[in-house]
Amino acid sequence: MSLPLDRLVARKSGACVPIAFRIALKLDQVSWDEACEDVGLAVFALRNAQKMFKADGLVNWFDTWLEAEACGAKITRGPLGDVTSAAPPTALPDAAAFTIAPPIARAADIARRLVAETREDSTVIGYLTGPATLLKHLNIDETQRAVDYSLALVKLYGEAGVGALLFAEEEAPARPFDAVANLAGYYNLPMLLAARGGVTPEQAKALGYRVESRLRISGWEIAPDTAPDSLIGAA
């Protein structure tokens, strides 16, 4: 089991969790393709960055096209996975096929490995794309399929033993789907929010996300080209 979020924030000094996915890959000279092909190498890079930043927690993945790509979206990426072009999926798979699609299986495997390797000295946080962004990237209005995908991912993370969930929103943040919130509650996984456009603690709380004054989590992913001197500020 990864350290539950409540125990993490109960630490004397509070907790700091920078979202440092791509910068971790960069620091270890692991390309996006390598990380996708070799899950062990991705875990290695994430853990090294965690140690270097002395982070109290780490996010297993960070890519708002994760679920859409698993559904067949055509994505073109740069060396560190930054999306240069994307075409939404044309036909959506069912939840069972979604679960075993390589991007999802990979994210879940990384979460499982991080939990097994870091044991109780840090919190592993499972990544999900927030509901508003997910609907947009899937290019659908009807929510049920998006709910199914998020439920499948929460289940994988819950069984992997992560300590919390992080929802990333490129769009204006929306409330998590009710069923997803219920399932997260079943696994006792607090839901955290990262919004590219920024969000106040009050807004996040009003939407149903957990806000902890003793938890410092970066608002969005730290850019991989951030200069060392600016890392602390960026985090």
Partner 1 sequence: MGKLFDQHAHLFPGFVYEKDAYGKRAGCDPDLICHGLEPITDIEREGMAGLSDIDVDLIEHKLSSIVEEARDVYMALSISEGIITGDMNCGLFTASGDPVVVGTGIYFHTLLNNAQLKYINKYYVDDPTVGLADGDIFFFNEELAGGVHNLDMFSAMPIFYQGKLLAWAEVGGHQGETGSITPGGFAPTAKSRYEEGIHIPCMRIGRNFQLSRDVLDFMTGSVRNPFVFEADLKSRVATLFQIRNRFVREVERRGVAPVVGAMRKILIKGEANARTRLRSINDGIFRHVLFNDEHGTFFGLTRIPVTVFKEDDTLTVLLQGVSPESGDGPFNSSWHLTRAATAVYLFSYFFRGLLPANAGLLEPVRYLVEGPSIMNSTDEIAHGLANQTCAFATQNLYMVGAKMLYASPHREAVQAPQSRNYSLPIFAGINRRNYFAANFTGTTNAGGGGGRYDMDGEHALGFYWGPWTDAGEVEEHDERLSPIILARHLDKNFHGYGKYRGGTPLLEVTTVCADGCRMSSWGSCDKVTFNFGLFGGYAGPPNPRFVIRDSDLFAQIKAGKELSLGQYALLTERSLKGKYEVTSSSKDAAPFRPGDLIVHSVGASGGYGDVLERDPALVVKDLTDGLITQDVALKIYRVAINPQTGLVDQKKTEQLRTAARKERLRKGKNFDQFIASWRKLSPPKDILHHYGHWPEPRLPKYDKPFWGLYG
Q: Binding residue for partner 1 (CB under 8 A) from 51, 74, 205, 214?
A: 51
Minimum separation from the CB atom of position 48 to partner 1 (A): 5
CA atoms in the 13 A half-sphere facing the CB of 33: 4
- For residue 211, the SS3 value is coil
What is the C-alpha separation between 68 and 103, in angstroms, rounded?
Answer: 9
Which residue, 47 or 136, has its beta carbon nearer to partner 1?
A: 47
Minimum separation from the CB atom of position 190 to partner 1 (A): 23
Q: By rule CB under 8 A, what count of residues binds partner 1? A: 13
Minimum separation from the CB atom of position 58 to partner 1 (A): 13
Considering only the stretches 92-100, 111-119, 134-142, 146-154, report the one whose residues sit in contact with partner 1 under the rule CB under 8 A: 111-119
Binding mask 156-185 for partner 1 (x = CB under 8 A): ------------------------------
E strands within the chain? 15-17, 57-59, 74-77, 83-87, 123-129, 164-169, 191-195, 215-217
Which residue, 113 or 136, has its beta carbon nearer to partner 1?
A: 113
Q: Supply 24's token pair.
A: 């971790």
Q: C-alpha distances in angstroms, 19 versus 162, 180, 195? A: 16, 22, 12
Q: Write the DSSP assignment of 130-181 as a string of letters.
A: -HHHHHHHHT-S--HHHHHHHHHHHHHHHHHT-SEEEEEESSS--PPPHHHH
Minimum separation from the CB atom of position 20 to partner 1 (A): 15
Binding mask 9-48 for partner 1 (x = CB under 8 A): --------------------x----------x--xx--xx
What is the C-alpha separation between 75 and 140, in angstroms, rounded?
Answer: 17
Ranges within 112-151 binding partner 1 (CB under 8 A):
116-120
Binding mask 61-100 for partner 1 (x = CB under 8 A): ----------------------------------------
Which residue, 27 or 97, has its beta carbon nearer to partner 1?
A: 27
Q: C-alpha distances in angstroms, 185 versus 12, 15, 76, 134, 179? A: 26, 22, 35, 21, 10
| Amino acid (one-letter) located at 152 | A
Minimum separation from the CB atom of position 104 to partner 1 (A): 22
Radius of gyration of the chain (CA): 16
Minimum separation from the CB atom of position 83 to partner 1 (A): 27
Binding site for partner 1 (CB under 8 A): 29, 40, 43-44, 47-48, 51-52, 116-120
